[in-house]
């Protein structure tokens, strides 16, 4: 055996080690292959997860789009076809003999948006021919029947209508179309006049597309081309002249979205625009845009849509607008505040002219129309209150009356037409009187400007129909309505109820009453000792003087003689509810009433003894013109005619001889009463003539002292109101038994030797005669004059 050969026992472990090493190497290789083979499964899982996330995301987006689709479709459908109730004023009636001159009728026509035109080309125009007016009346669906558009001629003589002629001959009576004063639309104080596609002028449709969205008829709700074009135009001009949003996107923003500028909101806007464009026709979308787009603000009232915009800015129907006026409305769309024609006329005029040139370049108007339009001023009404007038205080009363008959949804969506009692000329004059007189009073008394507030109401004295209702010194602004809701102590306005009760109990205006100290001991609490305004005692006097001079002590003595319970029962029948104050202080007006409720109280006197609750609504018509409710005035006799005539005589004497004597109208056949609450916090006046009853209140919203009496405050507003309306003198019944008495003493006397008043006195009463001034000498004096003695 060679000496280098290993023994057998040594060779075996070496072979085993090699085999083990080989197995280990094989296992390691297998492990590496296994690891290598497992790596693709991780990416697979990632891919699967990504796919799942994509599916879920797509489902989420799809679900959100479905949600948007259902939401905006339902909202758009409902709002698109919602037609708000329209509210109309009382129309002006024209007939031979009416007290109306040519100038006043022309003012009324201009208020309704009629334009002066030499050829009367369309309804809504008029022209002057000598002293006559030729008018092309608009068509209108009145309560009783529809009237077609027609031409009439109105002749005048001595500030009256001499006659009216039409195409078929003489016209006995005709009415102007009534002013639209508001509507009930169901969102965020927005107001509008809803138009159908047929009522939208072609120039407005074509002009909107030319200025706001040239690709409107082709795009799917948004337009990349429009965005690019707007970018280039704005880049070249150095200012924002065009927007990239389509009309549909603008509609979405107006209907559904806020004004935030985020990517999320913009994407939502595009998605909603695509859905609307897919769901609805282009005509539907454009009509909705015309009715929806925001065009300005009038206080709390948002002006939406071109129908109302035409009224608000031009006092015209949309169909009557000229091309330059349509261009102005389109100009406002881009920025109702920035291009506000009242505040920034230069900006609005510049943009209007650019739009007119675009109209011409696109062939929408000819050269003559372009030149004529460019030559026109903006032409907006003198103030945004002149046309399409809005009277929020009166509208509050309309809502009150309708609330019991119709639910809000019916008023907001069923196209009702509501005819009301308001007379715009009276309303405007009353509001002007309130605003101007308050400013004068504050200046005269050095009161902080704007500190005083007021309310005023004018109604028909026989029917209670409200002709004017002012809720504050700023009549076009929504807010606290003092005419309806300011319940304040009425002071001496309550005294006619005391004296009426005394007359019904057997006293008369010549009866002697006592203005002397009085203290009333209540069952509980402190004794009450009232005082006169001048802190004096005036002794015995006729009852008519006690009322005329508003003497507190005489009134309390009369009231306690008649009985507080009887007087308060009388109050209940006159106003329809129990007094809040059960104590004797009620006799001096420690009883709070709103101006509207005070009007109802004095309506009993003004009507000759009938309770006629104030009313604002005459009738309601449905969408087809059928009357669905009539609102005749309620009538309930509350005062015997003789007693009503007596208290009205007394209230005339209040004006002529008493607290109303400072009025320039005091002796012209008007009756009235001033009222002042404790510490001169509230100033009141209530007055009436043969045709109208009015109530005025002045005070402060914080109930601080005003320093005003009824005569120095509220009566001054009534004077200003009457200056424009005039007086219709009271007519007295011929059956009254009248007697002349001395105002201070109540003794029978003659005007030649005493300060007399004429009052009704029952035949059974025998009054003492003033020495040396008795009427027994009247016949002798006449005989001596006849025969020269």
Locate the domains of the chain by residue range: 2-81, 91-177, 208-288, 293-389, 487-613+639-707, 738-786
Residues with catalytic roles: 212, 492
With a cut of 50, say whether residue 21 has pLDDT above it: yes
Where do we find the tokens 């074009």? 229
pLDDT (0 to 100) of residue 303: 87
Q: How far apart are CA 284 and CA 278, in angstroms?
A: 12
pLDDT band at 719 (very low <50, low <70, confident <90, very high): very high
pLDDT band at 195 (very low <50, low <70, confident <90, very high): confident
446 Cβ contact partners less than 8 Å away, ≥ 6 residues apart: none
Joined tokens for residue 250: 């603008």
Give me the architecture of the 487-613+639-707 domain, per CATH: 3-Layer(aba) Sandwich (3.40)
With a cut of 60, say whether residue 787 has pLDDT above it: no
Going by C-alpha positions, the residue among 298, 343, 331, 320 that lies closest to residue 181 is: 298
Q: What is the percentage of the chain residues whose pLDDT exceeds 70? A: 82
Q: How far apart are CA 241 and CA 357, in angstroms?
A: 14
- What pTM value is reported for the model? 0.79
With a cut of 90, say whether residue 170 has pLDDT above it: yes
Q: What is the percentage of the chain residues whose pLDDT exceeds 90? A: 60
Give me the architecture of the 91-177 domain, per CATH: 2-Layer Sandwich (3.30)
Joined tokens for residue 611: 């309770």
Tell me which CATH code domain 208-288 carries.
1.10.3810.10
722 Cβ contact partners less than 8 Å away, ≥ 6 residues apart: 665, 670
The pLDDT tens digits for 402-413 are 887 887 767 766
CB atoms within 10 A of CB 366: 12
Q: For 545-599, give the secondary structure using H, E and C.
A: HHHHCCCHHHHHHHHHHHCHHHHHHHHHHHHCCCCCCCCHHHHHCCCEECHHHHH
DSSP structural state of residue 152: E
pLDDT (0 to 100) of residue 76: 73
Contact 466, 394 (CB under 8 A): yes
Distances (CA, A) of 648 to 40, 480, 736: 107, 33, 12
Radius of gyration of the chain (CA): 40
pLDDT (0 to 100) of residue 81: 55
Range of weakest confidence among 81-85, 400-404, 707-711: 81-85
Is the Cα dihedral 265, 267, 273, 279 positive or negative? negative
Q: Do the domains 487-613+639-707 and 208-288 match in fold?
A: no
pLDDT (0 to 100) of residue 622: 83
Q: Facing residues of 85 across strands?
A: 184
Taking all residues of the chain, what is their mean pLDDT, rounded to a whole number? Answer: 86
pLDDT (0 to 100) of residue 774: 75
Q: How far apart are CA 401 and CA 382, in angstroms?
A: 33
Range of weakest confidence among 309-313, 368-372, 439-443, 550-554: 309-313
Q: How far apart are CA 96 and CA 322, in angstroms?
A: 34
CB-based burial label for 713 (10 Å; 0-12, 13-18, 19+):
buried
Range of weakest confidence among 142-146, 321-325, 384-388, 500-504: 384-388
Tell me which CATH code domain 293-389 carries.
1.10.3810.10
Distances (CA, A) of 104 to 107, 161, 174, 467, 720: 5, 11, 16, 18, 19
Q: How far apart are CA 396 and CA 219, in angstroms?
A: 45
pLDDT (0 to 100) of residue 603: 98
């Amino acid at each position: 055996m060679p000496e280098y050969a290993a023994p057998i026992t040594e060779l075996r472990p070496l072979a085993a080690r090699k085999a083990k090493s080989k197995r280990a190497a094989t296992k390691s290789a297998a492990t590496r292959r296994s690891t290598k083979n497992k790596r693709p499964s991780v990416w697979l899982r990632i891919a699967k997860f990504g796919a799942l996330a994509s599916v879920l995301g797509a489902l989420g987006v799809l679900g959100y789009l479905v949600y948007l689709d259902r939401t905006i479709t339902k909202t758009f459908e409902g709002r698109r076809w919602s037609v708000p109730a329209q509210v109309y004023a009382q129309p002006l009636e024209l007939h031979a003999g009416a007290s109306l001159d040519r100038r006043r009728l022309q003012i009324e026509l201009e208020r309704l948006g009629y334009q002066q035109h030499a050829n009367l080309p369309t309804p809504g125009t008029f022209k002057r021919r000598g002293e006559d007016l030729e008018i092309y009346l608009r068509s209108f669906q009145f309560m009783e029947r529809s009237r077609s558009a027609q031409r009439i001629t109105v002749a005048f003589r001595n500030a009256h209508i001499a006659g009216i002629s039409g195409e078929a001959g003489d016209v006995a009576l005709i009415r102007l179309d009534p002013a639209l004063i508001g509507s009930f639309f169901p969102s965020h104080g927005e107001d509008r006049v809803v138009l159908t596609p047929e009522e939208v002028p072609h120039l407005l449709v074509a002009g909107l597309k030319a200025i706001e969205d040239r690709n409107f008829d082709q795009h799917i709700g948004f337009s990349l081309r429009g965005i690019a074009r707007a970018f280039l135009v704005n880049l070249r001009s150095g200012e924002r002249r065009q927007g990239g949003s389509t009309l549909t996107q603008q509609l979405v923003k107006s209907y559904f979205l806020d004004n935030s500028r985020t990517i999320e909101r913009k994407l939502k806007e595009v998605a909603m625009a695509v859905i609307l464009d897919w769901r609805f026709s282009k005509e539907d979308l454009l009509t909705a845009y015309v009715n929806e787009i925001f065009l300005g603000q009038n206080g709390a009232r948002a002006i939406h849509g071109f129908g109302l915009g035409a009224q608000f800015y031009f006092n015209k129907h949309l169909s009557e607008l000229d091309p330059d006026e349509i261009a102005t409305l389109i100009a406002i769309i881009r920025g109702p505040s920035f291009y506000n024609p009242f505040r920034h006329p230069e900006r609005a005029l510049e943009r209007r002219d650019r739009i007119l040139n675009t109209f011409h370049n696109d062939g929408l108007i000819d050269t003559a129309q372009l030149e004529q339009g460019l030559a026109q001023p903006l032409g907006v009404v003198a103030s945004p209150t002149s046309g399409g007038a809005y009277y929020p205080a009166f509208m509050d009363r309309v809502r009150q009356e309708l609330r019991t008959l119709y639910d809000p949804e019916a008023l907001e969506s069923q196209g009702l037409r509501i005819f009301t009692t308001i007379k715009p000329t009276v309303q405007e004059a009353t509001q002007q009187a309130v605003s101007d007189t308050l400013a004068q009073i504050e200046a005269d008394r050095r009161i902080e400007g704007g500190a005083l507030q007021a309310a005023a109401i004018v109604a028909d004295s026989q029917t209670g129909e409200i002709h004017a209702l002012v809720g504050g010194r700023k009549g076009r602004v929504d807010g606290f309505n003092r005419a309806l809701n300011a319940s304040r102590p009425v002071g001496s306005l309550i005294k006619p109820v005391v004296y009426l009760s005394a007359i019904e109990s057997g006293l008369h205006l010549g009866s002697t009453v006592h203005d002397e100290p009085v203290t009333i001991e209540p069952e509980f609490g402190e004794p009450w000792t009232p005082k006169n305004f001048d802190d004096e005692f005036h002794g015995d006097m006729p009852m008519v003087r006690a009322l005329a001079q508003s003497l507190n002590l005489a009134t309390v003595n009369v009231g306690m003689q008649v009985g507080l319970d009887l007087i308060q029962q009388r109050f209940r029948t006159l106003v329809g509810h129990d007094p809040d104050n059960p104590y004797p202080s009620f006799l001096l007006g420690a009883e709070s009433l709103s101006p509207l409720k005070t009007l109802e109280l004095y309506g009993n006197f003004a009507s000759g003894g009938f309770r006629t609750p104030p009313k604002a609504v005459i009738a309601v018509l449905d969408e087809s013109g059928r009357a669905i409710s009539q609102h005749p005035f309620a009538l309930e006799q509350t005062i015997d005619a003789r007693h009503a005539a007596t208290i009205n005589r007394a209230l005339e004497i209040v004006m002529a001889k008493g607290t109303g004597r400072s009025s320039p109208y005091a002796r012209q056949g008007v009756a009235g009463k001033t009222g002042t609450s404790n510490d001169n916090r509230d100033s009141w006046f209530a007055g009436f003539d043969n045709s109208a009853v009015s109530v005025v209140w002045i005070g402060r919203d914080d109930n601080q002292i005003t320093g005003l009496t009824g005569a120095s405050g509220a009566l001054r507003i009534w004077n200003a109101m009457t200056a424009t309306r005039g007086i219709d003198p009271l007519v007295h019944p011929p059956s009254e038994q009248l007697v002349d008495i001395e105002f201070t003493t109540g003794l029978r006397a003659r005007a030649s030797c005493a300060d007399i008043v004429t009052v009704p006195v029952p035949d059974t009463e025998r009054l003492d005669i003033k020495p040396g001034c008795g009427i027994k000498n009247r016949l002798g004096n006449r005989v001596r004059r006849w025969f020269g003695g």
